[in-house]
C-alpha cells in the first residue's frame, strides 16, 4: 500500500505518525495510507507560505495569470489521469469525474483574467488637485479546507483565485480521496508556481485547528458539512480571520401541475442519483403540487430508478457508483430504515445491493420515498445518498413555505411553464441558488456560488466576483499633488468640497 505525501514548499514530504487508510469504494479495499499532519507539519507549510509571500505579492498580475494559463493546459492534458484518480477513491463514474474537473477548470479560466479582475476603482479630481482610488491587495497566507465529494472542483474554487490575487495558499483536502487533489496541485507547481505559494497538507481536526489558531493565516475558506462549517466560522472569526464556510444542504425541486413532466423526470434522475446523491446541490426532495403530479411522477420514476446502471465508478457507461465509505453507506441505509419506521412509503428500496465481482464495494441502489412529511428525519436532515423523497402539497405557496422553513438554503428549482409562478418563486424563495427548469443551478465561474441560511456562514460566496473580494482587501488612497505656486492654509473643519 503506497503512502500519500504532503506537498510543502514545492517538495513531496512523507511523515511517520498518525495515518488513515484511503479506500477504493468500488472494491471496499484500502489502497493507500494517508499521514495526518501534526501541528509542526502545518507550521512548516505556513512558514513556507510566509516566506514566499513578499515576492509573489509583487509579481505582476499578468505574470501570475500566465502560470494559470499553463495550469489550465496541464489540467486538460491530464484529464483522463485525474478522472481515474477521482473515480478510484471517490467512487463516482469516470464521466462524472471528468465533468467536475471541467467545472473546476472554469475557475482557472476565470483566474487567468487576473489583470482585469484586480483593476482598482479610480476617481480623478475628488477635490482640488486630489485623486482617489481603491486598490485590492492580497491578504497574505490563506487556507482552504475541502470535502470529499468534489476532490478536484472544490479546491479549484479556492486556490487559483486566491493565488492569482497574490496570496499564498495552504490546502487541507478531504482525507477520504486526496490523490487527485494532490496531483492537481503538483500540476500547478509544474506550470511554474514558485515554491511555497501553494502547499497541500493532509490531516484531520488537529491540522484544521492548527490552521485556525495560526495568527499568520489571515482567511479560511471551508466547504463541508454544516456542523464543521459553523465550528470553523465561529473559531476563525473569533480570532479576527475572514471566513467563508459553506455547509450542508437539502435541495427541493417543486413540480407544478403544468410542468413538462418527462423532461422534469430526466432532470430529477440525474440530480437525485448522479454521483450517488453525494452532491451539495443534489435534489433530495421533490415537492409535488397536487396528487395528480405526484402519482404521475412516482409512476415515471420507478422504472428508471430500477434500471439505474450501478457498478465500479471506473467502468464505463454507468449511471452510479458506490458511496464513498462503508460508514457512509450504512448511514444512508439507516436513514432508509428510519423513513420506513416513520411511516413514509418506500416505493423503491435500494438496500442490500450486491454487485457481482464487487461484492465488498460500498454500494446502495437508488431509493424512492413517497408521502414524506416535514416532521420526518428523512425530510429534515441531509442524507447525502441516492434517496429521493416525494412530498405532496396543494399549492405553490405551500411548497414555498416548506422550503423557506427548512434550515438549509443551498439550491432549489421549479419545473413549470408558468412565468408568473417562476417569477414569484425566484423573488421570494429563501435559497441562495435557484433554477427554473434547471435542476442543478450551479453558477458558472464568473458568477459566485453560495447558499443561504445554515448552508453558508459568512458574507461572501465562493469564487467569481465574491471570491476576488474575499481574497483581497480594499485600500482607499487619496492623493494630492499641489501646484508648485499655491499655498494652502490650514483647515480645521472636516474636509469637504
Ligand atoms: P465534512 O464536514 O465531514 O469534512 C469537510 C472537511 O472538514 C474535511 O477536510 C475534513 O477533514 C474536515 N473535518 C472533518 N471533521 C472535522 C472537525 N471535527 N474539525 C475540523 N475539521 C474537520 O464533510 P464531507 O463529508 O467531506 O463532505 C460532505 C458535506 O459537504 C455535505 O454536508 C455536503 O453538503 C457538504 N458540501 C457543501 C458544499 C457547498 O458548497 N455548500 C459543497 C460540497 C459539499
Are 233 and 266 found together in one domain? no
CA of 488 to the centre of ligand 1 (A): 59
Contacts of 241 (CB under 8 A, 6+ apart): 212, 217, 218, 219, 220
Q: Global pTM?
A: 0.96
Quick check: is 330 in a domain? yes
Are 170 and 256 found together in one domain? no
Quick check: is 120 in a domain? yes
Quick check: is 491 in a domain? no
Predicted confidence at residue 490, as pLDDT, reads 83
Q: 264, 266, 292, 294: which is closest to 416 by C-alpha? A: 264
Tell me the average pLDDT across 252-276.
97
Q: 229, 277, 276: which is closest to 251 by C-alpha? A: 277
Mean per-residue pLDDT of the chain: 97
Predicted confidence at residue 493, as pLDDT, reads 87
Predicted confidence at residue 1, as pLDDT, reads 82
Q: Residue 432 has which C-alpha cell?
A: 441562495
Q: Is 224 in the pocket of ligand 1 (CB under 6 A)?
A: yes
Quick check: is 14 in a domain? yes
Atom of ligand 1 nearest to the CA of 147: 26
Are 104 and 61 found together in one domain? yes
Where in the sequence numbering do the catalytic residues fall?
280
**pLDDT greater than 80 at residue 478:** yes
CA of 222 to the centre of ligand 1 (A): 8
CATH number (domain holding residue 305): 3.40.309.10
Q: Is 146 in the pocket of ligand 1 (CB under 6 A)?
A: yes
Q: Are 358 and 311 in contact (CB under 8 A)?
A: yes
Are 234 and 257 found together in one domain? no
Predicted confidence at residue 274, as pLDDT, reads 96
Predicted confidence at residue 496, as pLDDT, reads 80
The residue range of the domain holding 411 is 251-436
Predicted confidence at residue 492, as pLDDT, reads 87
Are 412 and 467 found together in one domain? no
Are 201 and 268 found together in one domain? no
Tell me the average pLDDT across 297-301.
98
CA of 382 to the centre of ligand 1 (A): 12
Q: For the chain, what percent of residues have pLDDT higher than 70?
A: 100
- The domain tally of the chain equals 2
Predicted confidence at residue 421, as pLDDT, reads 97
Atom of ligand 1 nearest to the CA of 228: 2
**Residue 378 and residue 388: Cα distance in Å, rounded?**
9
- 158-200 per-position pLDDT tens digit: 999 999 999 999 999 999 999 999 999 999 999 999 999 999 9
**pLDDT greater than 90 at residue 379:** yes
**Residue 250 and residue 281: Cα distance in Å, rounded?**
8
Predicted confidence at residue 321, as pLDDT, reads 97
Are 366 and 337 found together in one domain? yes
Q: Is 320 in the pocket of ligand 1 (CB under 6 A)?
A: no
Predicted confidence at residue 484, as pLDDT, reads 76
Q: Is 457 in the pocket of ligand 1 (CB under 6 A)?
A: no
- 405-439 per-position pLDDT tens digit: 999 999 999 999 999 999 999 999 999 999 999 99
Are 308 and 287 found together in one domain? yes
Atom of ligand 1 nearest to the CA of 176: 26
Q: Is 280 in the pocket of ligand 1 (CB under 6 A)?
A: yes
Q: For the chain, what percent of residues have pLDDT higher than 90?
A: 94
**pLDDT greater than 80 at residue 488:** no
Are 342 and 238 found together in one domain? no
Q: Is 148 in the pocket of ligand 1 (CB under 6 A)?
A: yes
Are 148 and 198 found together in one domain? yes
Are 234 and 276 found together in one domain? no
CATH number (domain holding residue 473): 3.40.605.10
Quick check: is 485 in a domain? no
Atom of ligand 1 nearest to the CA of 456: 41
DSSP 3-state of 464: helix
Tell me the average pLDDT across 347-370.
97
Q: Residue 303 has which C-alpha cell?
A: 422504472
Are 232 and 343 found together in one domain? no
Half-sphere exposure of residue 340: CA atoms within 13 angstroms, side-chain side: 14
Amino acid at each position: 500500500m503506497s503512502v500519500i505525501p504532503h506537498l510543502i514548499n514545492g517538495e513531496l514530504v512523507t511523515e511517520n505518525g498518525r495515518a488513515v487508510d484511503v479506500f477504493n469504494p468500488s472494491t471496499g479495499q484500502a489502497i493507500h495510507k494517508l499521514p495526518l499532519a501534526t501541528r509542526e507539519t502545518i507550521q512548516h507549510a505556513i512558514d513556507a507560505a510566509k516566506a514566499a509571500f513578499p515576492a509573489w505579492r509583487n509579481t505582476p498580475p499578468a505574470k501570475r495569470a500566465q502560470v494559470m494559463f499553463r495550469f489550465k493546459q496541464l489540467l486538460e492534458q491530464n484529464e483522463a489521469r485525474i478522472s481515474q484518480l477521482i473515480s478510484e477513491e471517490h467512487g463516482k463514474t469516470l464521466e462524472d469525474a471528468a465533468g467536475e474537473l471541467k467545472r473546476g477548470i472554469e475557475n482557472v479560466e476565470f483566474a487567468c483574467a487576473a489583470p482585469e479582475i484586480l483593476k482598482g476603482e479610480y476617481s480623478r479630481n475628488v477635490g482640488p488637485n486630489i485623486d482617489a482610488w481603491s486598490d485590492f491587495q492580497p491578504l497574505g497566507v490563506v487556507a482552504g479546507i475541502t470535502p470529499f465529494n468534489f476532490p478536484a472542483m472544490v479546491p479549484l474554487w479556492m486556490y487559483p483565485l486566491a493565488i492569482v490575487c497574490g496570496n499564498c495558499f495552504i490546502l487541507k483536502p478531504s482525507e477520504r480521496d486526496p490523490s487527485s487533489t494532490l496531483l492537481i496541485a503538483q500540476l500547478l507547481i509544474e506550470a511554474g508556481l514558485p515554491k511555497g505559494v501553494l502547499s497541500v497538507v493532509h490531516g484531520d481536526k488537529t491540522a484544521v485547528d492548527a490552521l485556525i489558531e495560526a495568527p499568520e493565516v489571515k482567511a479560511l475558506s471551508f466547504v463541508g458539512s454544516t456542523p464543521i462549517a459553523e465550528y470553523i466560522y465561529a473559531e476563525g472569526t473569533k480570532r479576527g480571520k475572514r471566513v467563508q464556510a459553506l455547509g450542508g444542504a437539502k435541495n427541493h425541486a417543486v413540480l407544478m401541475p403544468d410542468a413538462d413532466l418527462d423532461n422534469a423526470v430526466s432532470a430529477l434522475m440525474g440530480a437525485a442519483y448522479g454521483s450517488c446523491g453525494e452532491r451539495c446541490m443534489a435534489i433530495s426532495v421533490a415537492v409535488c403540487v397536487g396528487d395528480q403530479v405526484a402519482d404521475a411522477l412516482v409512476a415515471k420514476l420507478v422504472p428508471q430508478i430500477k434500471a439505474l446502471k450501478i457498478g465500479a465508478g471506473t467502468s464505463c457507461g454507468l449511471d452510479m457508483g458506490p458511496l464513498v465509505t462503508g460508514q457512509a453507506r450504512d448511514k444512508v441505509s439507516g436513514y432508509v430504515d428510519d423513513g420506513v419506521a416513520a411511516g413514509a412509503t418506500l416505493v423503491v428500496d435500494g438496500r442490500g445491493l450486491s454487485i457481482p465481482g464487487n461484492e465488498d464495494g460500498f454500494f446502495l441502489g437508488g431509493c424512492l420515498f413517497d408521502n414524506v412529511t416535514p416532521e420526518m428525519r428523512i425530510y429534515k436532515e441531509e442524507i447525502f445518498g441516492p434517496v429521493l423523497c416525494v412530498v405532496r402539497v396543494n399549492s405553490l405557496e405551500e411548497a414555498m413555505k416548506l422550503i423557506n422553513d427548512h434550515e438549509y438554503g443551498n439550491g432549489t428549482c421549479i419545473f413549470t411553464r408558468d412565468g408568473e409562478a417562476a417569477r414569484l418563486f425566484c423573488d421570494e424563495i429563501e435559497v441562495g441558488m435557484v433554477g427554473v427548469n434547471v435542476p442543478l443551478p450551479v453558477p458558472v465561474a464568473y458568477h459566485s456560488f453560495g447558499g443561504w441560511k445554515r448552508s453558508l456562514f459568512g458574507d461572501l460566496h465562493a469564487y467569481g466576483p465574491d471570491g476576488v473580494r474575499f481574497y483581497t482587501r480594499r485600500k482607499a488612497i487619496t492623493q494630492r499633488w499641489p501646484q508648485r505656486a499655491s499655498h494652502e492654509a490650514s483647515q480645521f473643519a472636516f474636509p469637504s468640497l
